[in-house]
């Protein structure tokens, strides 16, 4: 069981170059002095009680709790957690094969059998999550890393916006008299495992063609394309792709938005 240390992170690790950065977090390569082992350390700024900067502790702890529960060869492992006052440090397994996104950028697109090889691993990682009612919610080639260039083994990263799915039909956590709850509470669109499956469909399309199925010239156009599920298999890219591959993608790019108006008190 990973415990939070009271010994400071900087006594145990040397930190090196930045390997990723987001709004409130920076990821750096680091080395555990005692063992010489390398890790990825995600430094997350905590939101102070007054300020708006930084990430809420509830969100940080959600990511850590999800990482503690996950144990799969296709998902980056949690090594340790350090609470350093105004920041939380999550120490994660480090891999050096780069992003799947870079591989596609270099090659344009992948041969079908290579795409199948990666897709199988991605599906096994997602099955591990969905079997635990965890949805990733940020699946994209940038978050699929290669353990190393030769082995063609993938590692899924970044559970920063991942969630535990509560049973769809039983709207938990809805309190109070229906008359007073906010509209978005009564009629909300639930995220569910289908949300991840849609993203997997997009990734399969990208692996095979190098093109993104819904990308428009503007963000607005992209949203219009997505909500209309408006995509097609452009012969320029898909002429030599098997029907099985196209059927696989079509089966995933299916809108399944759900609206709930029921409420249980
Ligand atoms: C939670 C989180 C967020 C961003 C991360 C990582 C982890 C991450 C990781 C690694 C690398 C090479 C880049 C990483 N990045 C930056 C690149 C992501 N596209 C890595 O090796 N392990 C990571 O967790």
Is there a binding annotation on residue 246? no
Would you say the CB of residue 95 lies under 6 angstroms from ligand 1?
Answer: yes
ipTM of the complex: 0.95
Structure confidence by residue, pLDDT tens digits, 73-113: 999 999 999 999 899 999 999 999 999 999 999 999 999 99
Q: How far apart are alpha carbons 253 and 200 in whole angstroms?
A: 9
Residue 216 lies in a domain: yes
Whether 138 is catalytic: yes
Structure confidence by residue, pLDDT tens digits, 235-262: 999 999 999 999 999 998 887 644 333 3
Q: How far apart are alpha carbons 28 and 93 in whole angstroms?
A: 12
Please tell me the residue having the least CA distance from ligand 1 atom 15. 20
The DSSP result for 34-71, as a single string, is: TT--EEEEEEEEBPPSS-SSSB-HHHHHHHHHHHHH--
As given in the structure block, the two tokens for residue 200 are: 């997997």
Average pLDDT of span 130-148: 90
CATH of the domain at 65: 3.30.200.20
Q: Domain check: are 13 and 122 in the same one? A: no
Which pTM does this prediction carry? 0.87
Q: Domain check: are 52 and 106 in the same one? A: no
CA distances from 29 to 75, 129, 136, 150, 199 (A): 18, 26, 23, 21, 28
Q: How far apart are alpha carbons 147 and 137 in whole angstroms?
A: 22
Structural domains counted in the chain: 2
Residue 77's domain comprises 4-93
What torsion do the CA atoms of 260, 172, 54, 6 make, to the nearest 10 degrees?
-150
Q: Domain check: are 83 and 143 in the same one? A: no
Task: Please provide the size of the chain in residues.
Answer: 265
């Amino acid at each position: 069981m990973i415990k939070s240390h009271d010994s400071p992170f900087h006594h145990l690790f040397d930190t090196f170059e930045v390997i990723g950065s987001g709004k409130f977090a920076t990821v750096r390569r680091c080395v555990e002095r005692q063992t010489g082992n390398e890790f990825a350390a995600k430094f997350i700024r905590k939101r102070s009680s007054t300020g708006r900067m930084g990430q809420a502790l509830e969100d940080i702890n959600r990511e850590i709790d999800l990482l503690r529960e996950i144990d799969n060869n296709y998902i980056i492992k949690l090594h340790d957690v350090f609470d350093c006052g105004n920041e939380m440090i999550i120490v994660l397994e480090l891999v050096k094969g780069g992003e799947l996104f870079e591989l596609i950028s270099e090659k344009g697109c992948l041969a079908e059998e290579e795409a199948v090889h990666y897709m199988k691993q991605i599906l096994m990682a997602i099955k591990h999550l969905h079997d635990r009612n965890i949805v990733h919610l940020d699946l994209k080639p940038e978050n699929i890393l290669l353990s190393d260039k030769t082995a063609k083994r993938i590692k899924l990263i970044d559970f920063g916006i991942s969630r535990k799915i509560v049973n769809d039909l039983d709207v938990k956590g809805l309190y109070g008299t229906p008359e007073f709850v906010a509209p978005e509470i009564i009629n909300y669109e639930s995220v569910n495992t289908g949300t991840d499956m849609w993203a997997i469909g997009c990734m399969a399309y990208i692996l095979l063609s190098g093109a993104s199925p819904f990308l428009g010239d503007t963000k607005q156009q992209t949203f219009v394309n997505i909500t209309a599920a408006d995509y097609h298999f452009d012969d320029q890219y898909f002429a030599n792709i098997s029907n099985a591959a196209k059927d696989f993608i079509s089966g995933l790019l299916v809108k399944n938005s759900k609206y709930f108006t029921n409420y249980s008190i």
